[in-house]
């Protein structure tokens, strides 16, 4: 194609933002989008042949992306108070999650408890979540903090790699998390350094493995009933 021909061509169309063409085309919020898994096919069929034609579909599992300032309302007040310690902030369905590095966890918790602008008096507990496909940060510990003074609730999420599952214990700051941390250790194998007695709490003391991890089998035996055999729940057909 020569320069003359290009000049003689039709005038280039004025680029119109997609948002103005149709309001539902709002661009996705910027920020880190990190797939933490893959979903194959469309109907979750495994094992049997997928005749739907969608069997080759591969879609990433993406969690809500990081939010950008301003977060709105009191979210900014809390974010300001914690600012240098935060890795990222996620706001989803009106709930705010602060992602914090394990090294900053104790400092953040002290700030949350003691800062007069924050005043998170109560830590409601720790919930472990295992994301096997989130390489390098497979184990997440999710804390819920409640400020009774200001009636605010936030979530703090910390992630550690499966290979080195160490987190500082929040027991010295919030004694309430004592048993919750023991449960997270019992079920996920997250080791909370500095916990006064990090032992199993729900499972027997000599139990092998960490039952709530995704690679730990559910267990169960096939049940025979009136000639038919029903496999255990984790071996039944699943659509997830």
Partner 1 sequence: MTTNEDLYAGASEATDAPADRVFTVSGQDWDDIAAGLGEEGGDAQERVVVNMGPQHPSTHGVLRLILELEGETVTEARCGIGYLHTGIEKNMEYRSWVQGTTFCTRMDYLSPFFNEMTYVLGIERLLDIEDDIPEKASVMRVLLMELNRISSHLVCIATGGMEIGALTVMTIGFRERELVLDLFELITGLRMNHAFIRPGGVAQDLPPGALDEIRGFVALMKKRLPEYAALCNANPIFKARLEGVGHLDLEGCLALGLTGPIVRSTGYPWDLRKTSPYCGYETYDFDVQTWDTADSYGRFRVRLNEMWESLKIIEQAADRLARMEGEPVMVADKKIAWPSQLAIGSDGMGNSLDHIRQIMGESMEALIHHFKLVTEGFRVPAGQAYVPIESPRGELGAHVVSDGGTRPFRAHFRDPSFNNLQAMGVMSEGSMIADVIVAIASIDPVMGGVDR
* Residue 147 binds to partner 1 (criterion: CB under 8 A): no
* Residue 180 binds to partner 1 (criterion: CB under 8 A): yes
Angle CA(53)–CA(55)–CA(56) in degrees, nearest 5?
A: 105
* Residue 223 binds to partner 1 (criterion: CB under 8 A): no
Burial per residue of 155-170, b for 16 or more beta-carbon CB atoms within 10 angstroms, e otherwise: bbbbbbebeebebbbb
Whole-angstrom distance, CA of residue 207 vs CA of residue 187? 11
Angle CA(187)–CA(188)–CA(194) in degrees, nearest 5?
A: 100
Backbone angles phi, psi at 224, to 5 degrees: -100, 130
Query: What is the smallest separation between the CB atom of 90 and partner 1, expressed in angstroms?
Result: 9
Whole-angstrom distance, CA of residue 93 vs CA of residue 148? 21
* Residue 124 binds to partner 1 (criterion: CB under 8 A): yes
Quick note: the x/- pattern for partner 1 over 194-213, rule CB under 8 A, is: ------xxxxx------xx-
Whole-angstrom distance, CA of residue 83 vs CA of residue 86? 6
Quick note: the x/- pattern for partner 1 over 78-97, rule CB under 8 A, is: --------------xxxx-x
Which position among 138, 162, 178, 181 is part of the footprint of partner 1 (CB under 8 A)? 178
Segment interacting with partner 1, rule: CB under 8 A, options 8-16, 26-34, 67-75, 175-183:
175-183
Whole-angstrom distance, CA of residue 200 vs CA of residue 89? 32
In Å, how far are 10, 13, 14, 16, 125 from 6, measured between CA atoms?
A: 9, 14, 17, 22, 66
Which single residue is written with the structure tokens 């914090």? 100
Segment interacting with partner 1, rule: CB under 8 A, options 9-17, 69-77, 81-89, 178-186:
178-186
* Residue 135 binds to partner 1 (criterion: CB under 8 A): no
Q: Choose between 30 and 238: whose C-beta lies nearer to partner 1.
A: 238
- Size of residue set near partner 1 by CB under 8 A: 51
Q: Choose between 58 and 218: whose C-beta lies nearer to partner 1.
A: 218
* Residue 225 binds to partner 1 (criterion: CB under 8 A): no
Whole-angstrom distance, CA of residue 233 vs CA of residue 240? 13
* Residue 141 binds to partner 1 (criterion: CB under 8 A): no
Query: What is the smallest separation between the CB atom of 215 and partner 1, expressed in angstroms?
Result: 12
* Residue 239 binds to partner 1 (criterion: CB under 8 A): yes
* Residue 37 binds to partner 1 (criterion: CB under 8 A): yes
Whole-angstrom distance, CA of residue 169 vs CA of residue 172? 7
Question: What does the binding site for partner 1 look like in residue numbers (CB under 8 A)?
Answer: 36-37, 39, 43-44, 61-64, 92-95, 97, 121-125, 127-130, 142, 144, 146, 148, 151, 153, 155, 174-180, 183, 200-204, 211-212, 218, 233-234, 238-240
């Amino acid at each position: 194609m020569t320069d003359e021909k290009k000049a003689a061509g039709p005038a280039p169309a004025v680029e119109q933002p997609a948002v103005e063409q149709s309001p539902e085309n709002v661009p996705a919020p910027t920020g880190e989008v990190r797939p933490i898994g893959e979903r194959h096919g469309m109907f979750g069929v495994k094992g049997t042949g997928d005749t739907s034609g969608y069997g080759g579909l591969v879609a990433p599992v993406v969690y809500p992306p990081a939010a950008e300032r301003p977060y709105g309302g009191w979210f900014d007040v809390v974010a300001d108070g914690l600012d240098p310690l935060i890795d990222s902030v996620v706001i989803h369905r009106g709930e705010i999650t602060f992602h914090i590095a394990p090294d900053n966890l104790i400092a953040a918790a002290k700030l949350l408890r003691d800062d007069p602008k924050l005043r998170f008096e109560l830590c409601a507990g720790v919930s472990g979540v295992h994301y096997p496909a989130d390489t390098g940060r497979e184990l997440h510990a999710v804390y819920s903090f409640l400020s009774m003074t200001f009636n605010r609730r936030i979530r703090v999420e910390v992630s550690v790699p499966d290979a080195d599952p160490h987190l500082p214990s929040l027991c010295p700051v919030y004694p309430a998390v004592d048993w919750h941390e023991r449960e997270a250790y019992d079920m996920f194998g997250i080791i909370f350094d500095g916990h006064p007695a990090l032992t199993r709490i729900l499972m027997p003391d000599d139990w092998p493995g960490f039952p709530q991890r995704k690679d730990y089998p559910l267990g169960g035996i096939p049940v025979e009933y009136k000639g038919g055999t029903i496999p255990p729940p984790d071996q039944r057909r699943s659509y997830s």
